[in-house]
Chains A and B, each alone.
Chain A
Amino acid sequence: MALMTLSSPHAHGNNSTQKVMLTVTLATLPGLAVMTALFGFGTLINVVLAALFAIATEALILRIRQRPVMFFLKDNSALLTGVLIGLALPPLAPWWITLVATAFAIIFAKQLYGGMGNNPFNPAMIGYALVLISFPLQMTTNWALSSQMGASVAGLGDALSVIFAGGSADAFSGATPLDTYKHLISNKTATEVLTDTTFNGWLNGGWEWVNLAFLAGGLVLLWRRIITWHIPVAMLAGLSLCSLILGWDADMYTPASLHLLSGATMLGAFFIATDPVSAATTPLGKLIYGAGIGILLYIIRTWGSYPDAVAFAVLLMNFAAPFIDAYTQPRTYGHAKANRGLKKPEAK
């Protein structure tokens, strides 16, 4: 028959879970490359290690849960969780921190809730938050110095010895720009702070390249329509507005440019906050969710005791996501009013 009648939909999405996860993983590569160039091989080793641990743990627990192992492994979600954890951890973190973070993320934050698609919290951030509160010493003093800070970067041999053999990372590690600025600004002016070796004249000590690389990866995700613009834009807007309104004085607070281009801001905005499972899903809800993360990020960075706060901000908003979704349902075609709010249980 020449004219076949086909029922809608006529345009098919070509994004399978497998492909989406793989694209997101590939989009982190520019950031990974820049981090490796700046901080040495530590990040690369961490990412590979975390990915291997994640896949192994996922296979193990799927086997225990008597689910099809290959079917779920092929969706690449464990790979992505591992890669994100590897990027988030300090480049010279010992191997067992990576193991604990990844295993906890996969077992407790993902599989115990029912596996792929059922986790209320972002697994990678749960794993990261766990090791951050459990091992403050290893997690907050081990961040590698960047080559832009004029420091010698750990070579492959040094990185391997620090990660696997318990070697000392003291020679290659120090405070991050966010941390240093926050502590020094309490009794110095902005110009004085910038003379510190962490900055070496540059405001972000090399971190701006990391963030720009993740921004580039994030734009690829937008272009491939894997994520929508709502969450990253709302989050970055929330963070910038807070730092412009509350922290406009660079002699007292960390300036907006440092907030936007240092720490995990761009990685968080494009790769972590946009997790399709744990984030809000309605368009308005995504804006509220993203803005909430941006505001919390500013609050914890400025008045909290941790230098960076992407994990905590994202996890706190994960809590709120189902509630936000319930109150931001769009009007469906054919209905006069949007069906919003929490349903009352039906009378029996």
Chain B
Amino acid sequence: MATKSLRDISLDGLWNNNPALVQLLGLCPLLAVTGSVVNALGLGLATMMVLIGSNFSVSLIRNHVPDAVRLPAFVMIIASFTTVAELVMQAFTYELYQVLGIFIPLIVTNCAILGRADAFACKNPILPSIVDGFMMALGFTAVLVVLGAMREILGQGVIFSNMQLLFGADAAHWKIELFSDYPDFLFAILPPGAFMAMGLLIAVKNIIDGRIKAAAEAAKVPTEVGGKRVRVTGKIG
């Protein structure tokens, strides 16, 4: 299998093959915890930690695990890294860990991670696997944060609230009130709002992709109709 360049790997993870917007993987945490930026960022960072670790380890053992038992082996690795992430969060951001609750252990079942292990890391050397893990996780986190911001603004009229849960007490004043006296828009806070925001994000991505494609088409030099062709076979008289 031809190895992809690191640039292509990065572009895939961030845009072309974004786990949330294109592969539509890991939707359960995506929809459940994106009620605010801090929750989204917390879960995104935890996922990133697990994804980089699991891609690295899977790539390391890729030539030593028989095909038949590869999935259980991958899941064991992912579960170990999830436990590590969980313990790290308990140690440093205990309150955020309590807010995210069950969705931290559930990172094990995030198909985006198992998907990358099986589709990429077990076929590629260590460095591309780490880059792939990082870029995929970055793409995933970016979508989480954008969704979190959309829902926080629409739902509560504020942004960056409770950032002290992740960045220490100094971050408590990062909260920006966009509208004073805003009535809570429960729909955006509840899961249905997440589905709708997600749909809008996918639509925006498709519009941008369509524009890029159209621009590329327009930039192509058109072949002239009825233009002369060089004759390469037969006898030229």
Contacts and interface: CB of A to CB of B under 8 A. Distances in A.
Contacts of B184: 135
Contacts of B188: 134
Which of B187, B188, B196 has most A Cβ within 10 Å? B187
Contact of B183 (A108, A130, A133, A135): A135
B190 interface: yes
A136 interface: yes
A138 B187 contact: no
A108 B196 contact: yes
A93 to B, nearest CB: 12
A130 B196 contact: no
Contacts of A133: 186-187, 190
Interface in A244-283: none
Interface in A124-179: 130, 133-138
Interface string A70-108: 000000000000000000000000000000100000001
A315 to B, nearest CB: 12
A134 B196 contact: no
Interface in B173-207: 183-188, 190, 196
Nearest to B199: A112
Query: Size class of B's contact patch?
Result: under 10
A133 B190 CA distance: 10
Query: Size class of A's contact patch?
Result: under 10
Contacts, number: 17
7 contacts: A100-B185, A108-B196, A133-B190, A134-B185, A134-B186, A135-B184, A135-B185
A89 to B, nearest CB: 15
Which of A108, A134, A135 has most B Cβ within 10 Å? A134
Interface of A: 100, 108, 130, 133-138
Contacts of B185: 100, 134-135
Nearest to B186: A134
Interface of B: 183-188, 190, 196
Contacts of A136: 186
A138 B182 CA distance: 13
Which of B184, B186, B190 has most A Cβ within 10 Å? B186
Nearest to B181: A166
Given A133-B187, A135-B184, 15 more contacts: A100-B185, A108-B196, A130-B187, A133-B186, A133-B190, A134-B185, A134-B186, A134-B187, A134-B188, A135-B183, A135-B185, A135-B186, A136-B186, A137-B183, A138-B183
Contacts of A135: 183-186
Interface pairs A-B: 7 shortest CB-CB = A134-B187, A134-B186, A134-B185, A130-B187, A133-B186, A135-B183, A133-B187
A100 B186 CA distance: 13
A197 to B, nearest CB: 29
B203 to A, nearest CB: 9
Contacts of A108: 196
A135 B187 CA distance: 9
A137 B190 CA distance: 16
Nearest to B187: A134
A137 B186 CA distance: 11
Contacts of B183: 135, 137-138
Contacts of B187: 130, 133-134
A138 B183 CA distance: 9
B196 to A, nearest CB: 7
B189 to A, nearest CB: 9
A185 B87 CA distance: 52
A134 B186 CA distance: 4
A114 to B, nearest CB: 14
A100 B154 CA distance: 12
B207 to A, nearest CB: 12
Nearest to B154: A134
Contacts of A138: 183
Nearest to B189: A134
B51 to A, nearest CB: 34
B219 to A, nearest CB: 24
B155 to A, nearest CB: 9
Contacts of A134: 185-188
A181 to B, nearest CB: 27
A150 B183 CA distance: 32
